[in-house]
């Protein structure tokens, strides 16, 4: 079992970057 | 050199500059969409819908942004209200969306499979009421202070502390088997 603090730290450091993929364009179109 | 948030916000407020707002969206879309995935059990489509709703509301009400908090924090406050409104109006949430493929461009070389950790954490958060889910996410992943969370969620500081303390203990139990890929 991993230490819970290490797990949370891993969550923060490995957060994926979600590519825009047209998201901004969709928002701005509205 | 990137333009400061404040300068972009001023251009939106004073000139209705849509390109400035688009820059703000590009700047924060990943974090916002990720957070909403965490709150919705990693339902990517729902999270993106809520993120769009959040940003449209932000654009329409940007004159109300007084700069007392960071723009990011203000955005999260709107997102929280959109999330709560959705929860109150819809059927119970479904379990984690399977097969969603997000990109890990910033951390492609992580040991293990971080994608599973993010999904498992989102699934674990589904076991909490929406308010506690938000408090846990902001504290454990976004590292907001308890006071910042209380201000954002407009709830007593003691409630936030209780949400996080109890939630942390429960998460520890729920995620105890994570390194073997087993959550309870």
B-chain CB neighbours of A27 within 8 Å are: 22, 25, 29, 52, 55-56
Burial annotation B3-41 (CB, 10 A radius, 16+ → b, else e): eebeebbebbeeeeeeebbbbbbebbbbbbbbbbbbbbb
Tell me whether A13 touches chain B (CB under 8 Å). yes
In this prediction, the answer to ipTM > 0.85 reads yes
Give mean pLDDT, residues B82-104: 66
**How far is CA B42 from its chain centroid?**
11
Tokens 């958060």 -> residue: B125
Is residue B94 very low, low, confident or very high in pLDDT (cuts 50, 70, 90)?
low
Between chains, do A23 and B25 touch, taking CB under 8 Å as contact? yes
Q: pLDDT tens digits for B97-138?
A: 444 444 333 333 333 576 788 999 999 999 999 999 999 999
- Residue B69's nearest CA partner among B149, B132, B12 is B149
> Structure tokens of B99?
């097969």
Of B25, B34, B118, the CB nearest to A24: B25
Residue A1 has pLDDT above 80, yes or no: no
């Amino acid at each position: 079992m991993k230490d819970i603090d290490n797990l949370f730290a891993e969550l923060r450091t490995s957060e994926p970057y979600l590519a825009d993929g047209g998201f901004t364009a969709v928002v701005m179109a509205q | 050199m990137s333009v400061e948030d404040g300068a972009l916000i001023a251009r939106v407020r004073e000139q209705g500059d849509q390109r400035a707002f688009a820059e703000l969206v590009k700047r924060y879309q990943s974090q916002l969409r990720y957070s909403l995935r965490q709150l919705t059990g990693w339902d990517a489509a729902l999270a993106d819908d809520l993120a769009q709703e959040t940003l449209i509301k932000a654009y329409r009400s940007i004159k109300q942004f007084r700069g007392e908090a960071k723009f990011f924090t203000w955005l999260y406050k709107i997102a929280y209200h959109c999330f709560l409104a959705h929860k109150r109006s819809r059927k119970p949430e479904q379990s984690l969306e399977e097969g969603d493929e997000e990109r890990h461009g910033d951390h492609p070389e992580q040991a293990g499979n971080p994608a599973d950790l993010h999904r498992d954490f989102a699934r674990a958060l589904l076991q909490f009421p929406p308010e506690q889910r938000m408090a846990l996410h902001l504290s454990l992943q976004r590292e907001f202070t308890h006071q910042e969370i209380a201000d954002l969620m407009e709830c007593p500081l003691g409630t936030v502390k209780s949400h996080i303390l109890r939630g942390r203990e429960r998460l520890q139990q729920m995620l105890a088997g994570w390194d073997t890929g087993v959550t309870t």
